Structure 1
Amino acid sequence: MLEEKLGRNVTLEIVKTTDFGVYLGTKEDKVLLPARQVPEGAGIGDAVDVFLYRDSKDRIIATTHVPKIRMGEVKALKVKDTGAIGAFLDWGLEKDLFLPFKQQTARVKPGDECLVGLYTDKSGRLCATMKVYDRLEKNSPYKKDDRVQGIIYEKSLNFGLFVAVDDRYCALIPRREASGRYKVGDRISARVTDVKPDGKLDLSVREKAFIQMDADAQAVMDKLLENGGELPFTDKADPELIRAQFGFGKNAFKRAVGRLLKEGKIEIREKSIAIK
C-alpha cells in the first residue's frame, strides 16, 4: 500500500500517462506525479524516484522534489507561520509541514528554528513533532572534554536542558549547569563533561572552573557596576538567587568573589558586596 510509504522516498513505475501528469505504482494502487515534475522523455514502464506526501486536499501525491526531512529522520526546520491549532514549517515542499501545539515542547513563532521528526496522525496525515528524545542517536564519536555544537529541543525543571548534538546525538545540560537565559531552539557550544554507559552525553556551557573563574569574576564586577557599585546580598545568598542573577551556581559565585577579594577589588559587608 502506497499509504504505508508516506514520508519516504520510493521508486515506482509509470503505469498511466495523462495531460496533467503520470500515475506511478500499479493499476490498483497508484499515485499522481504532476506533469511539471515528470522527467523528460519518461513513459509507461519507466521507474521514477519520488517522495510521497499529501497535498492540500489530503490526497496522496508524488514529488521529485527533495524534502528537508523524511520519515525516521530528525532535522531542524524553520517556522513559516502559526495558526489556531499549531505551526507550519518549511520542509521544502509546496504544502508546509504542520506542527500541532500538542507536539511542541515550547511555543514557536515565525522565524524560529526547531528540531523535529515526522509522524502520521490519526487521519493519516504527515505531521511534525518536537518530542524527539527517543529518536536521537546514542553512539556519538565524542569523549569527555570535547567541544560540541547542538540545539536545545526541550527544557525540564527537573532535569535541565535537552540538547541534540550535531542535531542527532542525545545530550543533556544538567539542571545545575542550565542557565535560565537559554530557551528551546537556541544553538549552543558546549563541553562534554561525561559520556554515560548508554552513550548519552552530559554537557556544560561553562569552561573548567580554573578557566571559567575569570569570566565569572568579570560578570560579578559588571553586575556590581550595573547596581551602583553594590549588591544587596553576599556569597552566602540563596543558590537560586545567585543563579537567577548570574546564570551560574553558588560555588562558581563564591570562587569569583574570592578572586575579586584577593585582587582587592571588592569588600564583603554584613549584608552586601561592594566595590572598594
Structure 2
Amino acid sequence: MIQLGQINTLEILRETDHGIYLVDEENNEVLLPNRYVPESFKIWDKIDVFVYLDNEERLVATTDVPYIMLGDFALLRCNQVNDYGAFLDWGLVKELFCPFKEQAFKMKPGGWYLVYCYLDEKTERLAASSKTNRFLSNKDLTVKPFDEVDLIVSHPSDIGWNVIVNRTHTGLIYKDNIFTDVSVGDKLKGIIKKVRPGNKLDITLGQIGYRNIEPNAKRVLEALEDNSGYINLTDRSDPEAIKDQLQMSKKSFKKAVGTLYKQRKIELKPDGIYLVNS
C-alpha cells in the first residue's frame, strides 16, 4: 500500500508524456512527474519516493526529501499567511498548510515554528500543527531512569526548557542543567534523570553519577589540547568561569579533573591545569 506522507519504495511501471508511473505490491499507482525522473532507468527498477497530494489533491511522488514527514516534528519557516492559515516551507514545491486552529500562536511570514505533521481526517491532506503537546502523552511511558533519549527542544518555561522525548513524551530540562545555548527545534541527546509523580520526566543533558565522569574528562582533555596543554581553571574557580570554558557544572568539572589526575594525565598547579607531557 502506498503510504501518504512517507518514503515509499516503488517499482517503475510505465513511461508517459507527463512522467513515469510507479506501482506498489498491490498494484496501486502514482505519478512521478518528469522533473523528478532519473536520467536513466528501466521498467521494474525500484525507486525511493515521497508521496503527498498535489495542488489538485491528487497523489503524486517526488524524489525530494521533505524536512518533515507524517508523524514527525520539525522547525519550519512560514512563507505566507492567508485567510485560512499559514503555509510552511517543508522543502517541496507545494507548501505545507497549517490552519489557524492548529497554531499555538498566530504565525507570521518569515517566522520559524516547531510543528507536527499530521493527516487531516476530513480532507485526507497532510497538515501541520504547532500545538505539539496534543500529539504527545506521558500516560504510558516507554522510558525509564538512566535511559538515553532523543530530544527536540520545544519551548522555554520559567524553570528551564520543555523538550519532546523520543518523539513521544514531554520532559523538562532545568536551567541549572543547561551549560550551552539551546533554541527551539534543536535536536539533542539526553538522559532520563527522574520520573516524578504524574509520569513527569526530568531530563539531563549530561550523564548521571558515574556515567558522567568519562565524557566530561574527555572534554577537559580536549580543552587542554586545544589550548597548548593548559587551562586557567582550578577547584576554586567560579562556577560561571567553568561553565563558559567547558559547558559543565563545577561538580562535574571536579569529578572529571579527579579522574584525569588519578590517571596521571594532568598536573594540578595553583594557576591552573597542565596536560602531562604536553
TM-score by length of structure 2 reads 0.57
The CA distance in 2 between the partners of 1:235 and 1:108, in whole Å, is 44
Q: Give 1:196's aligned residue.
A: 196
Q: Kindly provide the amino acid, as one letter, of the partner of residue 204 in structure 1.
A: T
2:87–2:95 CA contact under 8 A, matched in 1: no
Q: Kindly provide the amino acid, as one letter, of the partner of residue 142 in structure 2.
A: P
Count how many residue pairs are aligned between Structure 1 and Structure 2: 203
The CA distance in 2 between the partners of 1:222 and 1:251, in whole Å, is 18
2:77–2:111 CA contact under 8 A, matched in 1: no
What percentage of residue pairs aligned between the two structures are identical? 23
Whose Rg is larger? 1
Q: Kindly provide the amino acid, as one letter, of the partner of residue 213 in structure 2.
A: M
Query: Unmatched 5+ residue regions in structure 2?
Result: 1-54, 61-67, 119-126
> Compared with structure 1, are the counterparts of its residues 91 and 214 closer, same or farther at alpha carbon in structure 2 (3 Å cutoff)?
closer
Following superposition, the deviation at residue 251 of structure 1 comes to: 0.4
Query: Unmatched 5+ residue regions in structure 1?
Result: 1-55, 57-61, 119-126
CA deviation profile, 1:152-191 (whole Å, cap 9, x unmatched): 11245x4233211132311012222223154322223322
> Compared with structure 1, are the counterparts of its residues 63 and 83 closer, same or farther at alpha carbon in structure 2 (3 Å cutoff)?
closer
> Compared with structure 1, are the counterparts of its residues 206 and 64 closer, same or farther at alpha carbon in structure 2 (3 Å cutoff)?
same
1:79 matched to 2:80? The reply is no
Q: Give 2:210's aligned residue.
A: 210
The CA distance in 1 between the partners of 2:79 and 2:175, in whole Å, is 30
SS in 2 for 1:183: coil
1:149 matched to 2:146? The reply is no
1:226 matched to 2:223? The reply is no
Q: Kindly provide the amino acid, as one letter, of the partner of residue 151 in structure 2.
A: G
Q: Give 2:243's aligned residue.
A: 243
CA deviation profile, 1:222-246 (whole Å, cap 9, x unmatched): 1012112111221221212212222
Q: Give 2:30's aligned residue.
A: none
Q: Give 1:274's aligned residue.
A: 274
The CA distance in 2 between the partners of 1:265 and 1:151, in whole Å, is 36
1:1-276 → structure 2 map (5 Å cutoff): 63=57, 75-77=72-74, 79=76, 82=79, 88-90=88-90, 94-97=94-97, 114-116=114-116, 130=130, 132-133=132-133, 136-139=136-139, 140-156=141-157, 158-276=158-276
The CA distance in 2 between the partners of 1:254 and 1:264, in whole Å, is 15
SS in 1 for 2:237: coil
> Compared with structure 1, are the counterparts of its residues 172 and 101 closer, same or farther at alpha carbon in structure 2 (3 Å cutoff)?
closer
SS in 1 for 2:188: strand
Q: Aligned Cα RMSD in Å?
A: 4.2
